[in-house]
Amino acid sequence: MMADGRDMRVSHSRLAWYTVAAVSLGLRLEGLAAAQDAAPAKRAEAAFRAGSEALAHNDLAAAQADFQTLLRLDPKAEAGYNGLGVVLLRMGKPAESVSPFEKALALKPGDPTAQLNLASAYEQLREPAKELPLLAKVDAAAKAQKRSLPAGVDAMYARALAASGQIPAAIARMKQAIAADARNATLVDDLGSLEAMQQDWPDAERSFRAALALQPALASAHLHLGLALLKQQKTGVLEELNAAHEQDANNPVTDLELGRALAANGNDEQAIPLLQQAVQSMPQSADAAYQLALALQRTSRTPEAIPLFETAIALQPESSEILTNYGLALCQQQKAAQAVAPLEKAVHLAPDNATARQNLAAAYIQLSQFDDAVAQLRAALTTDPNSPQLHYNLGLAFKSQDKTTEAIPELQAAEKLNPSAFEPPYVLGLLELQDGRYAEAARDLNDSLKLQPENGDAWATLGSVYNHLDQLPEAASALQQAIQQLPHQPDPHLTLAAVLVKQGKSAEAIAERRKAAELMRGNMNRQRAEVACNSGTALLKSGKISDAVVEFQNAIGFDAGFVDAHLGLADALERQGRAAEAQAERQKAQQLQVQPSP
């Protein structure tokens, strides 16, 4: 495994050499004919040969029946147990194959074929502690005969050593395998994976490139090379992961890693389909669920992300990182009360995780638990004292408590640490306005607006500040900017009217007041329409169709441009069987949706 948990292990299924060892051929049936008449011996010999033939043609059901026939005829036929064990391995039943192999070894304790087959079963069962002693015996027997192990067996030995944490020994053994089969790209790729386990990224990269030189279409080597380049912060990551995906489009690990890389590169929309495939193929992968949740969260699809965070937590409940982002997602959905428990656990698991404390503080602020929020933010700043966001959030928490004296230094620190952020000077301007420090407020609001000129609220506040300073032309200009940014808000019109009165422009002031009054009526009607529409929706859900129709019609009466009311009325009318009227309402809603906002 890579240091960050990604799969860089050598494969456990690449070299199915054990299918050769079991019954090949070289095994004989011994002793049966000496003890009994010739007929059973001939039947046993025939069953053995039939089983061997069926296995050679991958007819596993027939091979299993033939070897079982052999063992009924001769319960001490070691070749029968070996053959049956290999059939079960081929069938994907390694646990069931252990007993036949053990019986073969009991009958012939030093048989390297049975030792190798039993070791292969333990490899598939991921039990290296049982596998290694058997491979050691096979290795010792080969050395005693002054011969080398086949490359496939050396590779198997290397995998077992790696699985038991003996990485240097595994690398040495894999190099022996490569020496015996130098053109085998898979073995070279496996060597790179072992080097990656040691975080020897330069050597791992060389091995992966060597594997691709031998076999350019080897998907696993492209995948591993991409991850090695990523760890070294080199270019070419996406190219290699894309190549891996092109060669093996159905590999969920490749889907996960390519999706992760695309997301890291800012391409969440491209990453999401790949991550969805990974989650579907690997439902027990916390990492796949978590990466998809993050991508959805970043693309404002937080409701879809929350169940995935919950899946990841169920699979990996002690991950402070997953709990932290899950808590943030709940806060984003205004579910702060639900967010507190996972965020508190995240902080407990990782007290130095400043982000977890920051998110917990955000939850406390939503719940108006400002003292708790301040405590978390102060603790986070001990870990990360130069975080502008932490200083800004702490300033906001103090502002919420009307502690201006404590808030201002925090906001000033945030502004100093991140001069490109428009929020700190904006909030400073608000506090200075509250304190009657108009000149300072004007300065800070102007600083904020230079960074974010689309902030209509800041323009409105600046206009009010200039009005207090009797800088009337500047006030009128700022308020006109506010009106442009906030065309549906009445307050800037009212403030501008006050400025115009001071300038002796009574007629223009009256016009602004009228506009404000119209907007206030419109806003009030919109609020009434929303209330009526919500009532209609609730009535519709409870089956009170006629009452729902009345409420939706009331909503449209308050605001004829309220799209949801037209759609709700269409649903209600359709349930009354009034299809033509329902279609007319849907057409109105469609027309309203394509019309530009007034």
State the SS3 of 224-247: HHHHHHHHCCCCCHHHHHHHHHHH
Residue 26's pLDDT is 36
Q: Whole-angstrom Cα distance, residue 521 to residue 564?
A: 20
Please report, in angstroms and rounded to a whole number, the separation of the first and last CA atoms in the chain. Answer: 58
C-alpha dihedral over 202, 203, 205, 206, to 10 degrees?
A: 120
Tokens for 7?
């799969």
According to DSSP, residue 133 is labeled H
Which pLDDT score, from 0 to 100, does residue 39 have?
Answer: 75
Q: 18-149, what's its fold? A: 1.25.40
Note whether 302 and 332 are within 8 A (CB): yes
What count of Cα atoms within 13 Å lies in the side-chain half-sphere of residue 124?
23
Which of the 8 DSSP states describes residue 91? T
Q: Within 13 A of 23's CA, how many CA atoms are on the CB side? A: 32
Contacts of 422 (CB under 8 A, 6+ apart): 448, 449, 451, 452, 455, 458
Residues 6+ apart with CB under 8 A from 30: none
Residues of the chain with pLDDT under 50: 1-3, 5, 12-28, 31-36, 597-598
Tell me the two tokens of residue 569. 């009325």
The rounded distance, in Å, linking the Cα atoms of 435 and 428 is 11
Closest listed residue to residue 438, CA positions, set 429, 447, 448: 429
Residue with tokens 């002793």: 31
CATH superfamily of 527-594: Tetratricopeptide repeat domain (1.25.40.10)
Where do the CATH 1.25.40.10 domains begin and end in the chain? 18-149, 527-594
Residues contacting residue 171 through CB under 8 Å, at least 6 positions apart: 158, 191, 194, 195, 198
Which one-letter DSSP state was computed for residue 596?
P
With vertex at residue 148, the alpha carbon angle to CA 142 and CA 153, rounded to the nearest 5 degrees, is 85
Per residue in 505-524, pLDDT (tens digit) is: 999 999 999 998 998 988 89
